[in-house]
Amino acid sequence: MLKDSFYPPQRTLMGPGPSDIHPRVLQALSRPTIGHLDPCFIGMMDEVKQLLKYAFVTENEVTLAVSAPGSAGMEACFVNLIEPGEKVIVCINGVFGQRMAENVIRCGGQLINVEDEWCQPVSLEKLQATLEQHPDTTAVACVHAETSTGVKSDIEAICQIAKQHDCLTIVDTVTSLGGIPLYVDRWDIDAVYSGSQKCLSCVPGLSPVSFSSNAVDKIKSRKTKVQSWFLDQTLVMEYWGNKAARTYHHTAPVNALYALHEALLMLKKEGLEQAWQRHAMMHNRLYQGLTDLGIKFLVDEQHRLPQLNLIAIPEGIDDVAFRNHLLRHYNLEVGAAIGGLAGKAWRIGLMGYAAKAENVALCLKAFEETLNMMRQ
Amino acid sequence: MLKDSFYPPQRTLMGPGPSDIHPRVLQALSRPTIGHLDPCFIGMMDEVKQLLKYAFVTENEVTLAVSAPGSAGMEACFVNLIEPGEKVIVCINGVFGQRMAENVIRCGGQLINVEDEWCQPVSLEKLQATLEQHPDTTAVACVHAETSTGVKSDIEAICQIAKQHDCLTIVDTVTSLGGIPLYVDRWDIDAVYSGSQKCLSCVPGLSPVSFSSNAVDKIKSRKTKVQSWFLDQTLVMEYWGNKAARTYHHTAPVNALYALHEALLMLKKEGLEQAWQRHAMMHNRLYQGLTDLGIKFLVDEQHRLPQLNLIAIPEGIDDVAFRNHLLRHYNLEVGAAIGGLAGKAWRIGLMGYAAKAENVALCLKAFEETLNMMRQ
């Protein structure tokens, strides 16, 4: 022990992320490391910025990848945009809405929750009513694609309501970016964060973010210092900003950014709309096949995410034993459910490179065989 | 543009980090991604923990890698250990001491600086006097190897003084871990952070940290919530802790951890003492060769780091033109100086895999030829 290199098994990743990664992206990842202030690297960072603008459908100048996972991207949005005492509405319909609320508390914000049932989208009526009750709200935060349930909320409508009340909008797109339609500028999103390891099919560890000019104005006019030095966007902007005047802030995760660059190139080559369509098509195949096996989808069709499918564990089937069997005998990972759904449901991801016919076929056959075996 | 994969040039990295990476580590990095809750991955995380204990020479149970660069590791130490209003002494003799002070302010701590000249180590007498003046100090923070100057401070003595005054000790070992003697337990360090991309020769993006049982007690008995959700060690400990009861916190940077595992295996195989000796030997060669070229080292021998060499820019030589020439004609990166030393000095790194005879030879010959050319 503690002498041998680690050779991971070759899994098919159909959980809630990380998702399967294309060999091109893994190759890019392992190219020789260069200095983070090397002119060649600065040029590549600039391309990553352009490619992220494409993926987010935004012209926002401040579009970059936070050098840490999605949870840090979430925190970057809150610590920069919320000052102590400010009133923030968080729409909660799953684990990641709860995490947003936790962030508001830790920034010293005044938290107002708009709560909906898990497996339901954010209610526009409740949001509207809460905003009328709290006219001094400064920001509205919500999750586009709730990774804990596979529910999609109507971000366009939510932002429209928030804007009517002069609020900044903060949106979690960790599981949506690259998988379903998302238009940052058109929908009036002020701060958005995502993750590298979901529908972008890049390695985990980076969080793409984008800030509107409204958000940047808010950050620049803060009365208090951002509580996190590492996530302070006034400093990070100078690092990712003007090529000529690059200011050292931290050491960027050089190789992970090679991988993100490659994953984004592949998305651009396929085309964003085409990628959205592919996710929808693969979801339809999965839905048809699992329904044929008698498995129930827990989210209504109109709010269902194609890239993350919450299904009920069939009666009499042991959650852990079933997932372990898939992992051991088919090298197939599907996700456990979390929070109140733990033990009652599974989450099947069809994200990025994993959203393909061979994965759906493997999943359907493995489910069929394993269910039959366990029912004998 | 925005169609081509990024192929970085093959550099020799002799700046302040990232350092050259062994091909074995890059290979490990690009192995197939598996789920961060996969039993195989959890086993590997456990090995990373054991290997980090070896590198830090500690038995601390809470020893792990923060899923972000060294600056986030620094912030993890401060936001967890310092509560608002607590008095903290920070010893400042360069950029990273300044950054620690910035962290204390952002945690709401009461900051007391002990300042020394750049290029000088932390003064034990000043620290002693300051502690006597401020007996209610709760923590003392300092940098072992100041990356901005190449100065080593006497951490053993600093911690001894701090302990006589019942203070927790927080130490930056970003540039020291793996390069010079460091004994976390023997020296009574309560919280220590480092970086993956310096003397460990791993890719940038991870920050090894370790917390003593004193530090863990302090964290567990906090009256206020840790201001950062992402860096809250009460949550992170559950993620890296007990294998049987792994609790989801964030998605670990799976592939970067493969690389860290491999880099630490290589360190263990070489042996920690042997790695320290190699850094010292390569420094001696570099020192001899550059001195022969008439180049002056700016740090006194007794405080000089072997792995980071601060040298004066020879009179009449243009800083940027010289470094650009090395990069363009020899693919050799050496570091600019920062802060008050910018434009006056260079920083030559001999870190981890880069601390080898062929790199020293290349550096010496490239310096000789370039200086001769520029003096013509």
Per-residue pLDDT reduced to its tens digit, A341-361: 999 999 999 999 999 999 999
Calculate mean pLDDT across residues A125-145.
Answer: 98
**Burial level of B232, CB count in 10 A (0-12/13-18/19+)?**
buried
Interface touch B103/A28, C-beta < 8 Å: no
Calculate mean pLDDT across residues A322-335.
Answer: 98
Angle value at C-alpha B317, between B93 and A33, nearest 5 degrees: 65
Interface touch A71/B204, C-beta < 8 Å: no
Angle value at C-alpha B54, between B51 and B56, nearest 5 degrees: 110
Cα separation, B226 vs B83, whole angstroms: 8
Cβ neighbours of B148 (radius 10 Å)? 28
Per-residue model confidence (pLDDT) at position B86: 98
Calculate mean pLDDT across residues B263-285.
Answer: 98
Cα separation, A184 vs A169, whole angstroms: 10
Q: Quick one: tokens of B293?
A: 């070229």
Calculate mean pLDDT across residues A280-293.
Answer: 98
Instruction: Work out the minimum CA distance from A164 to partner chain B, whole angstroms.
Output: 31
Residue B241's pLDDT band (cuts 50, 70, 90): confident
Cα separation, B240 vs B206, whole angstroms: 14
Torsion angle (degrees, nearest 10) of CA A250, A251, A256, A260: 60
Residue B2's pLDDT band (cuts 50, 70, 90): confident
Nearest CA in chain B to A195: B251
Q: Delineate the domains of chain A, giving CATH numbers in brackets.
A: 12-17+271-375 (3.90.1150.10), 23-268 (3.40.640.10)
Q: Which residue has the tokens 């802060």?
A: B339
Interface touch B29/A33, C-beta < 8 Å: no
Per-residue model confidence (pLDDT) at position B248: 85
Cα separation, B180 vs B68, whole angstroms: 23
Residue A239's pLDDT band (cuts 50, 70, 90): confident
Per-residue model confidence (pLDDT) at position A244: 63
- Give residues with Cβ within 8 angstroms of A273, minimum separation 6: none
Interface touch A106/B40, C-beta < 8 Å: no
Residue B1 clears pLDDT 80, i.e. is over it: no
What is each CA distance from A289 to A20, A35, A201, A296, B56, in whole angstroms?
21, 49, 24, 11, 52
What is each CA distance from B7 to A30, A261, B138, B344, in whole angstroms?
11, 11, 49, 33
Interface touch A32/B18, C-beta < 8 Å: no
The 3 state secondary structure assigned to B308-330 is: EEEEECCCCCCHHHHHHHHHHHH
Q: Which residue has the tokens 């790695």?
A: B275
Cα separation, B23 vs B201, whole angstroms: 11
Nearest CA in chain A to B49: A2
A311 has which bridge partners? Answer: A297, A346
Interface touch A205/B15, C-beta < 8 Å: no
User: Which positions in chain A touch B46 (Cβ < 8 Å)?
Assistant: none
CA B336: distance to chain centroid? Answer: 17
Q: Which of B11, B13, B199, B255 to mutate to test the interface with A (most CBs of A within 10 A)?
A: B255
Amino acid at the residue B93: N
Cα separation, A364 vs A14, whole angstroms: 12
What value does the mean pLDDT of chain B take? 96
Interface touch B33/A203, C-beta < 8 Å: yes
Q: Which of A230, A262, A330, A351 to mutate to test the interface with B (most CBs of B within 10 A)?
A: A230
Instruction: Work out the minimum CA distance from B285 to partner chain A, whole angstroms.
Output: 24
**A-contacting residues of B 63-102, CB under 8 Å?**
67-72, 74-75, 99, 102
Per-residue model confidence (pLDDT) at position B244: 64
Per-residue model confidence (pLDDT) at position A77: 98
- Give residues with Cβ within 8 angstroms of A307, minimum separation 6: A145, A175, A176, A179, A180, A198, A199, A279, A283, A349, A350, A351, A355
Nearest CA in chain A to B225: A106
Strands B168-172 and B207-211: unpaired
Cβ neighbours of A27 (radius 10 Å)? 14
Q: Quick one: tokens of B43?
A: 């086993």
Interface touch A32/B21, C-beta < 8 Å: yes
* Chain B touched by A44 (CB under 8 Å): yes
Give yes or no for a contact between A15 and A311, defined as CB atoms under 8 angstroms apart: no
Interface touch A71/B262, C-beta < 8 Å: no
Length of chain A: 376
Residue B139 clears pLDDT 70, i.e. is over it: yes
pLDDT digits (tens, 9 = 90+) for B7-24: 999 999 999 999 999 999
* Chain A touched by B106 (CB under 8 Å): yes
**B-contacting residues of A 167-226, CB under 8 Å?**
195, 197, 203-205, 225-226
Give yes or no for a contact between B171 and B142, defined as CB atoms under 8 angstroms apart: yes
**Burial level of A157, CB count in 10 A (0-12/13-18/19+)?**
middle
Calculate mean pLDDT across residues A252-271.
Answer: 98
| Beta-carbon contacts below 8 Å between A and B | 260
Cβ neighbours of A335 (radius 10 Å)? 24
Calculate mean pLDDT across residues A28-53.
Answer: 96
**A-contacting residues of B 3-42, CB under 8 Å?**
3-11, 13, 15, 17-18, 20-21, 24, 26-41
* Chain B touched by A163 (CB under 8 Å): no
pLDDT digits (tens, 9 = 90+) for A176-230: 999 999 999 999 999 999 999 999 999 999 999 999 999 999 999 999 999 999 9
| Buried/exposed A63-73: b ≥16 CB within 10 Å, e otherwise | bbbbbbbbbbb
Per-residue model confidence (pLDDT) at position A1: 59
- Give residues with Cβ within 8 angstroms of B122, minimum separation 6: B91, B93, B114, B116, B142, B143, B153, B154, B158
Residue A243 clears pLDDT 70, i.e. is over it: no
Cα separation, A150 vs A223, whole angstroms: 38
Residue A295 clears pLDDT 90, i.e. is over it: yes
Per-residue model confidence (pLDDT) at position B246: 75
Give yes or no for a contact between A309 and A320, defined as CB atoms under 8 angstroms apart: no
What is each CA distance from A258 to A8, A50, A251, A295, in whole angstroms?
22, 14, 14, 40
Calculate mean pLDDT across residues B82-103.
Answer: 98
Interface touch B33/A13, C-beta < 8 Å: yes
Cis peptide before A181 (omega within 30 of 0): no
CA A90: distance to chain centroid? Answer: 17
Residue A245 clears pLDDT 70, i.e. is over it: no
Give the rounded percent of residues in chain A with a pLDDT score beyond 70. Answer: 99
Give the rounded percent of residues in chain B with a pLDDT score beyond 90. Answer: 95
Per-residue model confidence (pLDDT) at position B239: 86
Cα separation, B207 vs B175, whole angstroms: 11
Cis peptide before B208 (omega within 30 of 0): no
